[in-house]
Amino acid sequence: MDKEALKELLNDMSLEEKVMQLVQIPGSEYDSDAEITGIERGQAKDRVKRLAGSTLGIWGSRRLRKIQEEYMKEHPHHIPLMFMLDVIHGHKTVLPCPLGQGATFDPDAVRKGAALQAMEAAADGVHATFSPMADLCRDARWGRIMESTGEDKLLNSFMAAAMVEGYQGGDLKDPAHIDACVKHFAAYGAAEGGRDYNNTELSEHTLREYYLRAYGEAIKKDPAMVMTSFNSINGIPATGSTFLMKKILREEFGFKGVLISDWGAVGELINHGYAKDQKDAALKGMTAGVDIDMCSGCYSGYLEELVKEGAVSHEMLDEAVLRVLNMKNDLGLFEDPFRGLDKESAPVITKEGRLLAREAVAGSLVLLENKEKVLPLKNEKNAFIGPFADTKRLQSSWAFSGEDDNTVSVWEAALEVYGAENIRTAAGCTMFDQDAVTARGIRHLDNWQEENERLLREALETAEWADTVVLCIGEDSTQSGEATSKVSLQLPAVQLKLINEIKKTGKRIVTLIFTGRPLELKEVRELSDALMICWLPGTEGGHGVLDVISGKTSPSGRLPVSFPYTVGQEPLHYDAYPTGRPKPEKGPFEYTSRYLDCENGALYPFGYGLSYTSFEYYDAKLSAEELSANEAITASVRVRNSGNTKGSVTVQLYIRDVTGSRVRPVRELAGFKKISMDPGAEETVSFEIKEEMLRFWTAEEKWESEAGKFLVWICDSSVGGKPLEFSLR
């Protein structure tokens, strides 16, 4: 439909029809099997169900076709219904959780993964996903850190932009692609105390310098939607903030698409104390520029009345409705309302999709320790022990359209690699402590004590048989994600007991940590001969893990987020500001910025990760000592694979602005390149440094660079390397 025809349609619609295009209701109103996360079933009135512009949480070609047919038959203008779904890190083929994808430092792989998700979801009738999450996350207490790609604004920017490109492709009418939704606007990841839905308090400098950057880069890729966040920012709920939604998002970022609230967020303006009732919430949501009210009932209940009263202008309403109609038109729904609904069967997990997922898993694994080169694991007597050793629950709580039956467990993959005669398995303990609290309440077993005593005995017998124990432990998928904030980052006590008991056998221990967030691992590090972060790896988790621990692939993942010594350090991030009394490398330490009982920095810092081979960095240099506004200088380093194994390494560029009108971080990631090298091979890795890379939100509240001295590191983590120096004229 061309633009003129679309406007004619808009002008012919009744006021009620227009309002209802801005209303989204749960898929459970159309099908009782829909996934819901925050509302009781059957709450929508018949007229809302008949006219609502979109729905969510429902998929499946057959049932969506039936719903679309019935909906369009009833709709006065036969405008198609739009189906949206949380396709966060996989639909049927589930990839590593987004935090794990961040660990790949590979935007191209992330783009391909998003394209796979889009293809599968589109084949199941889905039109739009609520992804990527571009929130900057620096607090491991916040459960939704697993849905981010980490603590760094540059890495997040690359990853969020890549996901938008992967989901949407070059043409949204292509039935293999779906709409992307950049979320949560804005600064949801900075919730106070790491507690979900909580207030965020940020200066405008910090908001602009750090928290808005990834959203802005993703929006440059023209996503169809942006989602508001639940939190308030500096005392104003984001969903009602004209500063965020109009000044920043629309005017400065130039976003032209649809702005949708998060689930119930318009109605929650009342709970925040920002709106007095649902009618007032609808007014404030519309005034802020929210186009679609997701599941709060405020727009469906009161927006028509507000327009009739003149509180909301017809022009404001029409602008919002036209954006929604354009979104449907861009998908080709007016020409083909059954887009993706013609197939009789659900999307099939393909061999190619599994291979892509398997490679993504292998690329996401981060090797933290490898004492005495225990890994790769030899083909001898190996025991796979722990609650993650033989489970298919390897995807996060945000992959509910995926199916455990399709997942390859660690044990299944180990059987393929080593054969049944050389390996054994035992659970060792339950996944949870006796009274563990998860997103769905307290997990309690009446016979918990007896069960764990039995499992431990079996594990110790299995360990005694083995030469090496591969301990598979971590947090269950229900312990990270939305509404899973925690004040403890320790592994379950029952799992820590297991590793301590296994240690007493004297056997080598390779510890694999499955998690959606950073954890405290100091004790585990001391007890393990090798230690690897496996995240929540998804459908091909077992194969990807075995590819790495067997040596088929050398580990190449890097931490996208700092792992603390203790939760008391949170929020923790590498790009901190210097203080007036920095802690020196050597004493005296009195009256300096430090903890009495802990290091300042991370146990494992951002950018860190080991390989089965070794890499030497030498001959680091800059092409010039001065940089002017219209020029560029090149930072380069020679990298040599000095080991005996082929491997990949992520070469990282960090820059520090030594003196500025605002205090600048001790270092910031300015670039990264992932290279693969054979043993003995050498390569020059170069980065171009331009003036625009040095800009920041100055004391004059402008995006500018400032003349002065800059330090440059080309290294393998956020704490490595020796600095080079140049000046900006």
Q: Domain limits of the chain? A: 3-330, 357-569, 615-728
Tell me the backbone φ, ψ of residue 83, rounded to 5 degrees.
-105, 125
Amino acid at 524: V
Compute the chain's Rg from CA coordinates. 26
pLDDT attached to residue 37: 53
Residues 561 and 147: their CA atoms lie apart, in Å, by 12
Residues 280 and 274: their CA atoms lie apart, in Å, by 9
In what order do the strands lie in the sheet containing 54-56? 128-129, 82-85, 54-56, 23-26, 293-294
- Local structure of residue 251 (DSSP, 8 states): I
**Half-sphere exposure of 678 toward its Cβ, with a 13 Å CA cutoff?**
1
CB-count burial class (<10 Å; 0-12, 13-18, 19+) for 66? middle
Cis status, amide bond into 571, omega within 30 of 0: yes
Intervals of the chain under pLDDT 50: 38-42
pLDDT attached to residue 345: 64
Tokens 């929210």: give the residue. Answer: 290
Which CATH number is 357-569 given?
Answer: 3.40.50.1700
Pairing state between β 382-385 and 423-426: parallel
**3-state SS assignment for residue 166:** helix
User: So what's the architecture of 3-330 in CATH?
Assistant: Alpha-Beta Barrel (3.20)
Taking the CA atoms of 291, 292, 293 and 297 in sequence, report the sign of the dihedral they define.
positive
What is the number of other CB atoms lying within 10 angstroms of the CB of residue 367?
A: 21
pLDDT attached to residue 36: 53
Residues 146 and 474: their CA atoms lie apart, in Å, by 14
CATH superfamily name and code, 615-728: Immunoglobulins (2.60.40.10)
> Which of the residues 86, 124, 262, 529 is marked catalytic?
262
Does residue 716 have an active-site annotation?
no
Tokens 């908001």: give the residue. Answer: 207
pLDDT attached to residue 311: 98
**Half-sphere exposure of 59 toward its Cβ, with a 13 Å CA cutoff?**
24
Q: H or E stretch including 640? A: strand 632-641
Q: What is the pTM of this model?
A: 0.96
With beta carbons less than 8 A apart as the criterion, state whether 472 and 384 touch.
yes
Q: H or E stretch including 360? A: helix 351-364
pLDDT attached to residue 41: 42
Give 292's strand partners: 260
What is the number of other CB atoms lying within 10 angstroms of the CB of residue 413?
A: 22
pLDDT attached to residue 343: 62
pLDDT attached to residue 443: 73
pLDDT attached to residue 32: 73
pLDDT attached to residue 720: 86
